[in-house]
Amino acid sequence: MYPLFDFIFDGFQRAGVIDSFRTKDRQLLLALDGTQYFSSQKLHGACCSNKTHGNGKVSYSHTVVTPVLVNPDRDKVIPLAPEFIRPQDGHEKQDCEINASLRWLESSGSQFAALGTVVLGDDLYCHEPFCRALLAHGLKFILVCKPDSHKTLYEWVNDLERNGVIKTVVRKRWTGKRNEIDTYRYVDTVPLRDADDALLVNWCDIITRTEDGKVLYRNAFATSLAIGDGNVAEVVASGRARWKIENENNNTLKTKGYHFEHNFGHGDQFLSSLLATLILLAYLLHTLLDLMDDKFCLLRQKLPSRRRLFDDMKALTTYLCFDSWEHLLDFMLEGWSYTPESRIARPPKPGIG
């Protein structure tokens, strides 16, 4: 299945879609995250991960890392070929999200480095071995950086703040309902861990407040990108865009008609992963239609949800034979264009065979 992901991505590149996802400084943002798509206390196989609970019961699961291209200003993402978390030959320990992401780096890192890609991720990824691996493959990064897991870095940040080294940018913006105040702080070259040879990163954070001081949002990031007054807001916006892998990708796959967590079949080894890959490929093809097929986009606007669109197409193609995809879309759009009177007088007729 994986060559199909590459084939579609190449089509996106030739059509200019990939360039349309670039940020203002012409970089691509690629978010990494793991998501579970199967869990059972009965069904299991050689490729399952397992967990023993406090009550002695064992649960079996499948998890996958789903890389996606994101942009802070777009409501769509471009899903890429997945990397599955599963036991690896010659390893005693169970596989994990970071190891799967490292395998993705080995297979695809250089390709995306050549495109000028910045990798986004949550705090799990913001540790020196993974950051160094990203840099070794020519990739830049913006990663969530929490105080609890980066005590040395925050000791430096707090000390630099006491000495007036931390720089601050404050911006007020109107949301359409109220004014909100974004306060950005940033500093260069702080150590990611407690060691003389620690990787040095740049750090920034954001706190969003209402005019009366109520905190609405706060987050912090470690990055390999240079930060200054002119781009700190853009760096933070790019870092925050990693949430799109949750909202526009994983949540869509699980709740918007793709049934990603449904057990369509487990098999002895790879069936569950194959079916999950087919669902991801279907989502990628639908993304292609969303971005490049005007008739499909028009139908999406007329129908209230993806689920409704899928259900309508399923019902139509169950009972009627259409000459082509184009014929199906024309039929559905023509049906929407009729008044109740014209529907009675002249119903649309597909080919039947």
Alpha-carbon distance of 109 to 243, in angstroms, equals: 21
**Model pLDDT, residue 79:** 96
Element (H, E) at 172: strand 167-174
Q: Which two tokens stand for residue 179?
A: 């004014």
Query: What are the extents of the domains in the chain?
Result: 2-143+226-292, 294-345
Q: Would you state the pLDDT for residue 54?
A: 85
Contacts of 109 (CB under 8 A, 6+ apart): 134, 137, 138, 139
Q: State how far the Cα of 45 lies from the Cα of 266, in Å rounded to an integer.
A: 8
Q: Which residues of the chain have pLDDT under 70?
A: 90-91, 338-353
**What pLDDT shows up at residue 351?**
53
**pLDDT in the model for residue 338:** 62
Say what the pTM is.
0.90
- Phi and psi at 55, nearest 5°, equal -85, 5
Distances (CA, A) of 223 to 203, 206, 236: 6, 14, 10
DSSP character string of 34-101: EEEEEEESS---TT-EEEE-TTS-EEEEEEEE--EEE-TT-S--EE---EEE---TT-SSPP-HHHHH
Q: Return phi, psi of residue 143, to 5°.
A: -125, 140
